[in-house]
Structure 1
Amino acid sequence: MSEERNVIPMILTGIASIVGTVVVLWYYGYLHFAKEQDALLLSDFTMLKTVAGEDYKVSLKPANQVAQCIDGVLVLFDTQQKGLTGVLVDNKKQAVRCLGQETPQAPQQ
């Protein structure tokens, strides 16, 4: 008994299942399609080193980002693009750490 099956409905069902899964994950927020304008590059930021006795100038107008210490990691929130958040990292993709409201101290050896 040689029975030939039509595989086209099975293929269409598989494709529809994948598309349906992606749509449901996106709808509930488990999947986010990032756009290029959503990213902030580390090169957009510069650290000003403070030296005792020297003056430095900064703009009175605040930046569009606000930083907050969450679980010991510095997280940036964008005030113009709602929902855009990110972790500040260095060029080696290591997260910039913070110690709450305290001034960070040099590690003890």
Structure 2
Amino acid sequence: MSERNPIPLIFTAIGSVIGTVAVLSYYGYLHVAKPQDALLLADYTMLKTVPGEDYRVSLKPAPQVAECIDGVLVLFDTEQKGLTGVLVDSRKRAIRCMGQKVPTAEGATSKP
């Protein structure tokens, strides 16, 4: 029984992994997230509105814009193009929009 040299097999495996990662990255299937790409939920606060009480907010708008898509509140960042996220609570449940049709598990839509 002849023994094979494992070095060419190791180099082939490492080269295959590096080549696969390079091709996936080139075609946009692989994205490495950077810390500046993330928006922390701690940066947002809900102001409770009570009838008869005044509250103050800044006249300057935030750099994020919210849109209701398929009944879910989606945030878009206007400063960092391509940064998009779904607003969720502490249990990772999506925040729903009122007045929009919400998809159900069966595929039918209903009013919330």
Structure-1-length-normalised TM-score: 0.83
Distance 2:66 2:81 in 1: 15
Counterpart mapping for 1:11-22 below 5 A? 11-22=10-21
Q: Offset at 1:53?
A: 2.3
> Tell me, what secondary structure is at the counterpart of 1:86?
strand
- Aligned pairs, how many? 102
> Tell me, what secondary structure is at the counterpart of 1:67?
strand
**Structure 2 residue aligned with 1:8:** 7
**Structure 2 residue aligned with 1:88:** 87
Q: Is the 8 A contact 1:69 1:100 kept in 2?
A: no
The 4+ residue runs of structure 1 with deviation greater than 4 A are: none
> Tell me, what secondary structure is at the counterpart of 2:54?
coil
> Tell me, what secondary structure is at the counterpart of 1:74?
strand
**Structure 1 residue aligned with 2:57:** 58
RMSD over equivalenced CA pairs, Å: 1.8
Amino acid at match of 1:70: I
Distance 2:100 2:94 in 1: 18
Which stretches in structure 2 are left out of the alignment for 5+ residues? 102-111
Identity %: 75
Q: Is the 8 A contact 2:70 2:100 kept in 1?
A: no
- Could you list the per-position Cα deviations for residues 27-61 of structure 1 after superposition, in whole angstroms to 9, with x for gaps in the alignment? 22221111111111111001111222222211110
Distance 1:69 1:100 in 2: 10
> Tell me, what secondary structure is at the counterpart of 2:96?
coil
Q: 1:79 to 1:26 in 2, by over 3 A?
A: same
Distance 2:37 2:28 in 1: 16
**Structure 1 residue aligned with 2:47:** 48
Amino acid at match of 2:51: A
Which stretches in structure 1 are left out of the alignment for 5+ residues? none
Larger RCO: 1 or 2 (CA < 8 Å, sep 6+): 1
